[in-house]
Amino acid sequence: MGWKRSERLIDMTNYFIEHPNTLISLPFFSERYGAAKSSVSEDISILKDTFERQGIGKLVTIPGAAGGVKFYVKVKDELVKPFVEELCQFIENPNRLLPGGYLYMADIIGNPVLMDQVGRMLASKFAERSIDAVMTVATKGIPLAYATAKYLNVPVVIVRRDYKITEGPTVSINYVSGSSKRIQTMLLAKRSLKEGAKVLIVDDFMKAGGTINGMISLLKEFNADYEGIAVLVEANDVENRLVDEYTSIVKLQNVDVHNETITVREGNYFTKGE
Amino acid sequence: MGWKRSERLIDMTNYFIEHPNTLISLPFFSERYGAAKSSVSEDISILKDTFERQGIGKLVTIPGAAGGVKFYVKVKDELVKPFVEELCQFIENPNRLLPGGYLYMADIIGNPVLMDQVGRMLASKFAERSIDAVMTVATKGIPLAYATAKYLNVPVVIVRRDYKITEGPTVSINYVSGSSKRIQTMLLAKRSLKEGAKVLIVDDFMKAGGTINGMISLLKEFNADYEGIAVLVEANDVENRLVDEYTSIVKLQNVDVHNETITVREGNYFTKGE
């Protein structure tokens, strides 16, 4: 039984969203729907236009026998700007203030829909670069790393600060934390990252960048390299930042413990070219 | 400018997938597309049929002035069975064996597309129950907890084993690890869970169930309760399991260190009613 166009479009939308960054051959869809290749091609051109207009993503057609079509997530800046503004206001709530000027962020990190949206934004920046894995450090960077990696269709590599028996052999390095200047250790399971891999480093928060710098050192031990660095929140007013090239969603402009005010601004996401 | 039906169906598919478990009013779609309410109703009935047939999800219409339509993720067992079989075979690879009979699982936990699929399966089981939050314990349960929570559209609550300054005031409990019989501590930020919340507990692995039992004790301190327990892998041959009601995707049937074989079977996901 052949499918109606409307049914094909619904199923294909879901299929592409479930399979980002994956080459799908046209015969696959022809067989799936019992439809002529020309009908499937028309479907794809309808999808392509609507995906682009709505900031859902980009469909790229690769011609030839080994070709097909690939879906990349691609949000539109003007559609996600209001979301980032809302996020800034949400972080500015003075109830977040903890002793020592720390901010309670577990509700933000703990919101999977919000993390998914930020992951989609980050993946949009890096989707057409060749990224082999997303790297983060346990624990708070994990949700955003997964949200991003899912849209890039690459594995997540989790760096730890403590050894676990279930990791097998590990590689460890020492690094200097940027703000406290203490020597710390981080480690990564040896078999979790391939030699020469190109990695996107994702974390929830960056102050001086010591932790991210540690991850970069760890990458060197795997003969791997980073293609980009992305964080949800960057702290402002950092002397001697150890990392210079990065993408941030929001920037912690000021935390005034005395007057109990937090000021948060857009990060460099919208202004920085990639 | 009004939208064509095909364009509306594509955008609505994406919109529903992005907003699971959320009541959306028909006027919202009418305005979004400049379309008559009757056209939107027809669109929804086309979507409903295709979503159900393809195991994408369920659209439930709530009548009345405060009504609308709600999307629940709902996979079809027969469509995900081959995925679970493949997963079993994938885990059976003897290269996973680590000293002490532990298994290397970081590649499975580190695969966001795989975690997303399992999260979708678990959310399908619990989507129509009233769940307020998904709870897990750091670190390895986190990816599956987020994948599940995203489809349930509820927050994730992460229990820790060590104190972090960014959590604010915490509640801690001691519990007895089921297999090693050691006394351990777990803690949760006080403001991360509301009194009386109904929680779905998600973890990557369950042996005797000590960790999960610990989470249940912690819930009591919040006057909260669990609505379900779900794990990716359950170990077999456990004497005195501390937890009796749970859903598992796969079951570790046997780990033979001497002969270097691992036997993995389907868990109770397909056989257990909820």
DSSP string, chain B: -PPPHHHHHHHHHHHHHHSTT-EE-HHHHHHHHT--HHHHHHHHHHHHHHHHHTTSEEEEEE-STT-EEEEEE---HHHHHHHHHHHHHHHT-GGGB-GGG-B--HHHHT-HHHHHHHHHHHHHHHTTS---EEEEETTTTHHHHHHHHHHHT--EEEEBSS--GGG-SEEEEEEE-TTT--EEEEEEEGGGS-TT-EEEEEEEEESSSHHHHHHHHHHHHTT-EEEEEEEEEEESS-TT-S--S-EEEEEEEEEETTTTEEEEEE-STTT---
The DSSP code sequence of A224-241 is -EEEEEEEEEEESS-TT-
A10 vs B13, B111, B112: nearest CB: B13
> Which residues of chain B lie closer than 8 angstroms to A49, CB-CB?
7
Q: In this structure, are residues A61 and A8 in contact, taking their beta carbons and an 8 Å threshold?
A: no
The two tokens of residue B245 are 């009601």
Q: Do B167 and A6 touch (CB under 8 A)?
A: no
pLDDT classification of B274: cutoffs 50, 70, 90 = low
What is residue A191's predicted lDDT score, i.e. its pLDDT? 93
d(CA B264, CA B89): 7
Please give the biggest Cα pair distance in chain B.
Answer: 70
Give me the percent of chain B exceeding a pLDDT of 70: 99
What is residue A272's predicted lDDT score, i.e. its pLDDT? 81
What is residue B166's predicted lDDT score, i.e. its pLDDT? 81
d(CA A152, CA B154): 24
Q: Do B138 and A139 touch (CB under 8 A)?
A: yes
Q: In this structure, are residues A217 and A189 in contact, taking their beta carbons and an 8 Å threshold?
A: no
> Per residue in B22-76, pLDDT tens?
999 999 999 999 999 999 999 999 999 999 999 999 999 999 888 999 999 999 9
What is residue B269's predicted lDDT score, i.e. its pLDDT? 97
> Per residue in B136-173, pLDDT tens?
999 999 999 999 999 999 999 999 998 887 888 999 99
A52 residue type, one letter? E
pLDDT classification of B127: cutoffs 50, 70, 90 = very high
B150 vs A102, A113, A155: nearest CB: A113
d(CA A228, CA A233): 15
> Which residues of chain B lie closer than 8 angstroms to A153, CB-CB?
112-113
- Count of beta carbons in the 10 Å neighbourhood of residue B94: 13
**Residue B115 vs residue A99, higher pLDDT:** B115
What is residue A241's predicted lDDT score, i.e. its pLDDT? 84
Give me the percent of chain A exceeding a pLDDT of 90: 87
> Per residue in B84-100, pLDDT tens?
999 999 999 999 999 98
Of all residues in chain A, the one with the smallest CA distance to B55 is A11
Of all residues in chain B, the one with the smallest CA distance to A108 is B155
Q: Do B166 and A98 touch (CB under 8 A)?
A: yes
> Which residues of chain A lie closer than 8 angstroms to B100, CB-CB?
165
B113 vs A13, A153, A165: nearest CB: A153
pLDDT at B225 over 80: yes
B36 residue type, one letter? A
Nearest Cα residue to A141 out of A97, A101, A174, A105? A105
What is residue B231's predicted lDDT score, i.e. its pLDDT? 98
> Which residues of chain B lie closer than 8 angstroms to A157, CB-CB?
110
Which of the residues in chain A have pLDDT under 50? none
Q: Do A160 and B139 touch (CB under 8 A)?
A: yes
pLDDT at B179 over 80: no
Minimum distance, in Å, between the CA of residue B39 and any CA atom of chain A: 14
> Residue B236: phi, psi to the nearest 5?
-90, 175
